[in-house]
Amino acid sequence: MSEFQSTPLSGKVALITGATSGIGKVTAQILCQNGASVVISGRRSKEGSQIAENLQAQGNDAVYIKSDLGKVSEINSLVDQTIERFGALDIAFNNAGIFDRGGLFHEYEDASWDDLISINLSAVFYCMKAQISYMVRNGGGVIVNNASIVGHRGSERASPGYVASKHGVIGLTRQAALQYANLGIRVNSISPGPTMTEIQQPLVDEGPKAVAAHLASLNPRAAFVAPQEIANVVLYLCAYAPEMMTGQDVAIDGGQLYKL
């Protein structure tokens, strides 16, 4: 394990997908604070550019690159542009994803299935393929994939597409970890529980009792996971985790996964 340092990622280049809000945005901030040069990627140009400008104003090396992960050509271009801009790719956080609720199998729309699998699973595969292709040639790197606690079980709230895609992300993580364990590439995933992102703000505005009532049946803590907590786990996996830690999935859910 690396010794704890004030800027453990100094000289490292990190690419974060889905970084224009929520977990990705906070992770970009934390990786920058710990010395990394960061590429912020997402489809929302205004938000992404503003995040990059704010980080630059704080003395960080950050840039926004627009990318639609539904297109393989744009995924490959994103990785190429990262390397052209910073000369390397040491860390990738494949965070981008979409969510939909409910939907029984026999009622679930084909288009919804296609969308969920395309963005949440296929895009992760194509991102990893491009990232690993570079890392194999250049001495290794670290990849972290954002899965979900429903990647370990079923869900009464999430759709078949979402649950299947997140199981798949964990499977891709384990397969890549196995295949590249001796090539200097560590691949792990994280599985957040319900997280306090912008989409949850209306519930939060109702007050702590409303949040607790909503989450009590799910989370033993009856509280949202903070994006900062998730970002700190990503930082650990990228900067401090031992070389032998690969193929693992880290649940960040206040004990939800193991609640009976």
pLDDT per residue over 66-96, tens digit each?
999 999 999 999 999 999 999 999 999 999 9
pTM equals 0.94
What whole-number distance in Å separates Cα of residue 255 and Cα of residue 253? 5
pLDDT, residue 179, reads 98
- Any residues with CB less than 8 A from the CB of 85 and at least 6 apart, and which? 39, 63, 65
Q: List all residues 6 or more positions away from 184 whose beta carbon is below 8 Å from its beta carbon.
A: 135, 139, 140, 141
Amino acid 216: pLDDT: 80
Q: Note the pLDDT of residue 187.
A: 98
pLDDT of residue 199: 67
User: Residue 158 has what pLDDT?
Assistant: 87
CB-CB contact of 233 with 252 (8 Å): yes
Which active-site residues does the annotation give? 162
Instruction: Tell me which residue has tokens 């570079």.
Output: 134
Q: 260 is written with which tokens?
A: 């009976």
Write the DSSP symbol of residue 29. H
CATH superfamily assigned to domain 13-196+226-254: NAD(P)-binding Rossmann-like Domain (3.40.50.720)
Q: What tokens does 83 get?
A: 């390397």
Separation CA 98–CA 107 (nearest Å): 19
Whose tokens are 């340092």? That residue is 5
Nearest to 65 by CA among 116, 228, 90, 84: 84
Instruction: Report residues of the chain scoring pLDDT below 70.
Output: 1-5, 199, 260
Spatial distance between the Cα atoms of 11 and 172, rounded to a whole number of angstroms: 28
Alpha helices in the chain (DSSP H): 22-33, 45-57, 72-86, 110-117, 123-137, 160-179, 201-205, 208-215, 227-235
Note the pLDDT tens digit of each residue in 110-154.
999 999 999 999 999 999 999 999 999 999 999 999 999 999 999
Tell me if 230 sits within 8 A of 168, measured CB to CB: no
